[in-house]
Amino acid sequence: MSGSRPPKFPVALDRVAPVTKAARETLRPQRPVHEAARDALRRTTPSGLGLDSAGVRARMVARLRTEGLRHEAVLAALAAVPRHHFVDSALISQAYEDTALPIGLGQTISKPSVVGRMIELLHDAPAARARGGLGRVLEIGTGCGYQAALLSHMATQVVSLERLKPLHDKARELLAPLRRHNLRLVYGDGRTGHAPNAPYDSIIAAAGGDDLPAAWLEQLAVGGRLVAPMKSADGRGQVLMVVDRTEGGYTRHVHEAVHFVPLKSGVA
């Protein structure tokens, strides 16, 4: 539905959420790729770091907790999923730092703090709190598959879309050993969503545009919540936009500033 006008919906007054210590600066889940690539050239594959140890992930989670991440299900998923499994071997020593790292094709694996914050916002939806989980999830932008793996620990089903075929194939390869049977990867245009499995209780996007595609709003279930980066009203950058669908329409709330890759149409 690229280019279609989003449906009209009543909009609540934008409300800026309190900014935590971790969000005082713009959240940059995709740091400039040239910086990450430069770091990669300086590093060699480490050995004997014990990255498979639960203790390594636990220390990362402890740091994120001190920075303000509070939802226990999100923290538990971060502690369970081996982030180093999704990171290039030349950068593996940075796998559990709160930094974005390149995954190829000008894309990066997002910072754990940003991933955790966005999933926490999904959990804060009244319907998610009532059912104790994210329900049926649509993820826009699979990337290397790390966020999809996290979501699969908190959802009944995850459908994850990726428009770049090499990344879709890479994510399929990386996720296969984890045997997340409630996770389905789809190669397709993220702007159109994935109607065959709609409606979704939760929708999360890893790319931002000038608007929210009409397909996303239409495929969001009543009682569902969407979290996505979107161009700010002043046009100076991106913010996290949270949209809730109710029986009466849609309401939206603006959260902290972020910096994601542009949302694009089509497949490649």
Domain assignment present for 84: no
Given this model, what pLDDT does residue 268 score?
A: 85
pLDDT higher than threshold 70 for residue 97? yes
pLDDT digits (tens, 9 = 90+) for 28-65: 555 455 555 555 444 433 433 567 778 999 999 999 99
Residue 210 lies in a domain: yes
Domain count, the chain: 1
Whether 220 is in a domain gets the answer: yes
189 found inside a domain = yes
CATH number of the domain that residue 197 is part of: 3.40.50.150
For residues 61 and 78, is the Cβ–Cβ distance under 8 A?
yes
Is residue 249 one of the residues assigned to a domain?
A: yes
Q: Which residue range is the domain that position 193 belongs to?
A: 21-30+107-258
Residue linked to tokens 């923290």:
75
DSSP-derived secondary structure for 2-49: TTPPPPP---PPP-PPPPPGGGSS-B-SS--HHHHHHHHHH-----S-
What percent of the chain has a predicted confidence (pLDDT) above 90?
A: 67
For residue 5, pLDDT beyond 70: no
The mean pLDDT value for 199-203 works out to 98
Residue 212 lies in a domain: yes
In this structure, of 33-42, 61-70, 85-94, 172-181, the range with the lowest mean pLDDT score is: 33-42
In whole angstroms, what is the distance from residue 209 CA to residue 29 CA? 15
In a domain, 199, yes or no: yes
Q: Is residue 121 part of a domain?
A: yes
Name residue 94's amino acid: Q
pLDDT tens track for 119-171: 999 999 999 999 999 999 999 999 999 999 999 999 999 999 999 999 999 99
Looking at the annotation, which residues are catalytic? 110
Mean pLDDT of 12-29: 47
pLDDT of residue 64: 97
Average pLDDT score over residue span 11-33: 47
Strands 220-231 and 101-104: unpaired
